Amino acid sequence: MGRIYTAALCIIGDEILSGRTQDKNVAQIALWLNVQGIRLMEVRVVPDIQDKIVKAVNELRAAYDYLFTTGGIGPTHDDITVDAIAAALDVPVVEHPEARAMLERYYAKIGGELTQARLRMARVPQGADLIRNPVSGAPGIHVENIYIMAGIPHITAGMMEGLTGTLEGGNPVISKTVGAYAPESEISELLKDLIKRFDGIAVGSYPFFKEGKVGSNFVVRAEDEVLANAAIEALGAALDEAGFPSVPGGI
Amino acid sequence: MGRIYTAALCIIGDEILSGRTQDKNVAQIALWLNVQGIRLMEVRVVPDIQDKIVKAVNELRAAYDYLFTTGGIGPTHDDITVDAIAAALDVPVVEHPEARAMLERYYAKIGGELTQARLRMARVPQGADLIRNPVSGAPGIHVENIYIMAGIPHITAGMMEGLTGTLEGGNPVISKTVGAYAPESEISELLKDLIKRFDGIAVGSYPFFKEGKVGSNFVVRAEDEVLANAAIEALGAALDEAGFPSVPGGI
């Protein structure tokens, strides 16, 4: 096993904390990070308040290899992410010439004016470079180990696309699932035995209630695909033997 | 304006951090808390690792009036929330007689055995009481200012139902929305003026792209409904005047 690369995600947005908007970024970023060989270890959601953002950013960028942020990079008064991250890094906010040029071209093309409000979107913490966004064109911002992305999920996805393959990572975690109509309380010993038998795996148990029956999906996670496959097969066999017919891939 | 009551939510679960499961608890808990007059100020998602849970729990319970947790209270090896919270509080884990009695009745009824694994679900941090769940029967756990709830959203909902009206809170935040096919970058000055004019409001701007047009929904939040109504009407009028017909309630 090589080095494990870790990341945190800081979601900046009153709209998530008020319940107005259902977050979709955690899952899509988590899945994408895993493909990059990076493990999402912590998520924080903080309000649009500079002190709260600064505190979270400083704690998370120190604790993990990478910090990703989403939200608060638009043109309005509540978009304070760039200012807060500059404050966290103790650097000034500057205009990025390439970002300004991109905005100039964009508004010339659509016939709009490059107002002061729109120029806000060319502001970056000093020392930053841009994250290309092949999907929507709107760039993200990279500074030190921080990757500043949009909050709107399909724009976030474009920025991830631009970052794909550029981040140093380790091995992705392989997940294998098996399901059974077994109450998880009846197979807890079986799971403990599995973990003892296969060194290097983690096992999650996710109960559900479907068509009037209780059951669980069991997920084996490991860096090594051979190990993950061996463990999930052993688990399926053990479930069958215990009288709970196993469903490869989960229910 | 009375005192502001605050809360944090700590989501315990590898399944969220791996991207396997799309979180649904943040939004439902946020909306419910607001009705109780409590503001959700921070969310953290942490893995099923005791040290990480202990650290988050201790920081969050100290920083806010209430701490809610979801996840990790089932019968399997990866359900370590009770142990971690007991460790955070530096109290032992004990069996709660009422929780044990509930499990005994339940398994007698369905004809199952009360195994060691199932008895795990009667364990609580010393000094805790149970949170009644009128919906699914499964109780949550309350200890000090911490409310320990299930991770499965409909069971979480039952526990919130049991807590409804029992928590001390202040005034709910009133949200009013108006939408317009206006690029948010063109009305940022207008929003700034609104905030200056109506003291005590917060305004969020949420851009969207629908039917080939860009637009934004604008949310005014305030504790005072009269103030929120006055501000949203003024905003609607200002949008109309700027040439962006306003849509009350949002687009």
Distance CA A139, CA A167 (A): 17
Question: What parts of chain B have a pLDDT lower than 50?
Answer: none
**Which positions in chain A touch B39 (Cβ < 8 Å)?**
17
- This complex has an ipTM of 0.89
Residues A63, A191 contacting (CB under 8 angstroms): no
CB contact under 8 A, A185 and B16: no
CB contact under 8 A, A43 and B17: yes
How many Cα atoms are found within 13 Å in the side-chain-facing hemisphere of A166?
13
- Sequential DSSP letters for A166-214: -S---PPPEEEEEEES--GGGSHHHHHHHHHHSTT-EEEEEEEEETTEE
CB contact under 8 A, B188 and A75: yes
- Sequential DSSP letters for A29-49: HHHHHHHTTEEEEEEEEE-S-
Distance CA A211, CA B231 (A): 48
Over residues A90-145, the pLDDT tens digits come to 999 999 999 999 989 888 888 888 888 889 999 999 999 999 988 877 899 999 99
Judged against a pLDDT cut of 80, whether residue A44 lies above it is answered with yes
Distance from CA of A153 to the nearest CA of B (A): 11
Residues B194, A9 contacting (CB under 8 angstroms): no
**Nearest chain B Cα to A71, which residue?**
B206
CA angle, B141 as apex, B136 and B142 as ends, to 5°?
130
CB contact under 8 A, B185 and A44: no
Distance from CA of A34 to the nearest CA of B (A): 8
Judged against a pLDDT cut of 70, whether residue A218 lies above it is answered with yes
Residues A216, A207 contacting (CB under 8 angstroms): yes
Confidence of residue A1 (pLDDT cuts 50, 70, 90): low
More confident position, A33 or A210: A33
* B27 closest CB neighbour out of A19, A115, A118: A19
Give the tokens for residue B156: 């979480």
Task: Report the pLDDT value the prediction gives residue A232, as an integer from 0 to 100.
Answer: 97
CB contact under 8 A, A26 and B15: no
Task: Report the pLDDT value the prediction gives residue B207, as an integer from 0 to 100.
Answer: 86
Question: Under 8 Å CB-to-CB from B34, ≥6 apart: which residues?
Answer: A18, A19, B40, B172, B173
Give me the domains of chain A, ranges plus CATH numbers.
5-163 (3.40.980.10), 174-248 (3.30.70.260)
Task: Report the pLDDT value the prediction gives residue B1, as an integer from 0 to 100.
Answer: 53
Distance CA A251, CA A217 (A): 7
> What residues does A215 pair with on adjacent strands?
A208
What is the SS3 assignment for A81? helix
CA angle, B169 as apex, B163 and B175 as ends, to 5°?
100
Among B46, B206, B251, the strongest candidate for a mutation testing the A interface, having the largest count of A CBs within 10 A, is: B206
Distance CA B115, CA A105 (A): 68
Mean pLDDT of the A77-84 span: 94
